[in-house]
Copies of this chain bind each other. A is one copy, B any other.
């Protein structure tokens, strides 16, 4: 079976496509034939700077996959061959709060990832995917969708009528838009592109703000919310957005802090005076993933794929990720 490997610090074009033997599932493990893998910004960073992450060579990149179970190891009871599954970013975060041990089980980082035709995953490190989704669609769920779900539903306890601020139209934000709509909440979406804002509106966004035309968009957010500010911000970040997000949220409101890119100075006094609740969100647990999939099945939610790349074209997919500007997710399809 074929697998991409990080074998040097030389970036995307230095990714090696290797032949490897089919791995064998051990006790409590399952063997999955991967049909699709989606890309997160983190995957690009990992490929471009494996040294900063102390990664050994070779390391298989990527953390998101969907595929078919084609074998199970001893002791496996909850999964069987033929099951259509997605992998969990954290292979050892079953339920409850995250633990250091769970954090040491991140696919495509602490351990080998899933940009390979066959992978071995933990029995509790896979979840059944919604029947109505293709493998390509389901491959978008493990990081982006689950992060949005964790932020808004598990931590944010989102309810109908609440307002949600979403920054940009990347994978997490678009899932957050769909999850907000699914719960009767009202999403304000920002983008520098009117065309993307128009797509967001068509998907149920309540208000759109072009942050290029409205650089002080935090004021616009207050105008749109009767001077109150929003209930939730999904802060996927970028340079300088956190300060504005803090200024956009209402007294007693909630900021889900997600972005690996988020940085800069923040003003703790405003956090304090406005009684703001800020949660660092790092993907989610197996139990959350199951809850989310149940909701997505009920809603027959369709993940938004910006572009699909063939397995052979994986390097191009990462280059594309670097340019940002996508709407939804980039997916590498092994079936193409």
Is A37 close to B, CB under 8 A?
A: no
Is A320 close to B, CB under 8 A?
A: no
Query: In chain A, residues 206-230, which have Cβ atoms closer than 8 Å to a Cβ of chain B?
Result: 206, 228
List residues of chain B with CB within 8 A of the CB of A274: 280, 282
**How far, in whole Å, are A273 and B122 apart by their CA atoms in the complex?**
22
| Interface 9-mer from A4-12, A288-296, A309-317, A325-333 | A288-296
Is A16 close to B, CB under 8 A?
A: no
Could you tell me the distance in whole angstroms from the C-beta of A316 to the nearest C-beta in chain B? 28
List residues of chain B with CB within 8 A of the CB of A98: 251-252, 275
Question: In the complex, what residue of chain B is closest to A269 when comparing beta carbons?
Answer: B260
Determine if A280 and B272 form an interchain contact, defined as CB atoms under 8 angstroms apart.
yes
List residues of chain B with CB within 8 A of the CB of A270: 280
Determine if B186 and A160 form an interchain contact, defined as CB atoms under 8 angstroms apart.
no
Number of copies: 4
Given A251-B100, A276-B280; A161-B237 close (CB under 8 Å):
no
The interface centre, meaning the residue of A158, A161, A260, A287 with most chain B CB atoms within 10 A of its CB, is: A161
The interface centre, meaning the residue of A28, A264, A275 with most chain B CB atoms within 10 A of its CB, is: A275
* Of the residues B184, B186, B266, contact of A183 by C-beta under 8 Å: B184
**How far, in whole Å, are A161 and B75 apart by their CA atoms in the complex?**
30
Could you tell me the distance in whole angstroms from the C-beta of A98 to the nearest C-beta in chain B? 5
Given A153-B160, A257-B271, A279-B277; A295-B263 close (CB under 8 Å):
no
| Interface 9-mer from A62-70, A80-88, A89-97 | A89-97
Is A281 close to B, CB under 8 A?
A: yes
Is A157 close to B, CB under 8 A?
A: yes
Is A322 close to B, CB under 8 A?
A: no
Is A103 close to B, CB under 8 A?
A: yes
Question: In the complex, what residue of chain B is closest to A154 when comparing beta carbons?
Answer: B159
**How far, in whole Å, are A26 and B95 apart by their CA atoms in the complex?**
24
* Of the residues B153, B259, B287, contact of A96 by C-beta under 8 Å: B287
**How far, in whole Å, are A313 and B271 apart by their CA atoms in the complex?**
35
Question: In the complex, what residue of chain B is closest to A297 when comparing beta carbons?
Answer: B161
* Of the residues B235, B272, B275, contact of A260 by C-beta under 8 Å: B272
Given A27-B75, A96-B287, A268-B263; A161-B275 close (CB under 8 Å):
no
Determine if B272 and A258 form an interchain contact, defined as CB atoms under 8 angstroms apart.
yes
List residues of chain B with CB within 8 A of the CB of A235: 268
* Of the residues B78, B263, B278, B299, contact of A277 by C-beta under 8 Å: B278
Determine if B269 and A278 form an interchain contact, defined as CB atoms under 8 angstroms apart.
no
Q: Using an 8 Å CB-CB cutoff, how does the interface string of A246-263 with B read, 1 for contact, 0 for none?
A: 000001100001111011
Is A179 close to B, CB under 8 A?
A: yes
Is A145 close to B, CB under 8 A?
A: no
Could you tell me the distance in whole angstroms from the C-beta of A321 to the nearest C-beta in chain B? 19
Q: Using an 8 Å CB-CB cutoff, how does the interface string of A9-23 with B read, 1 for contact, 0 for none?
A: 000000000000000
A contacts, CB < 8 Å to B:
26-28, 74-75, 78, 94-101, 103, 153, 157-162, 179, 182-186, 206, 228, 235, 237, 242, 251-252, 257-260, 262-282, 285, 287, 291-299
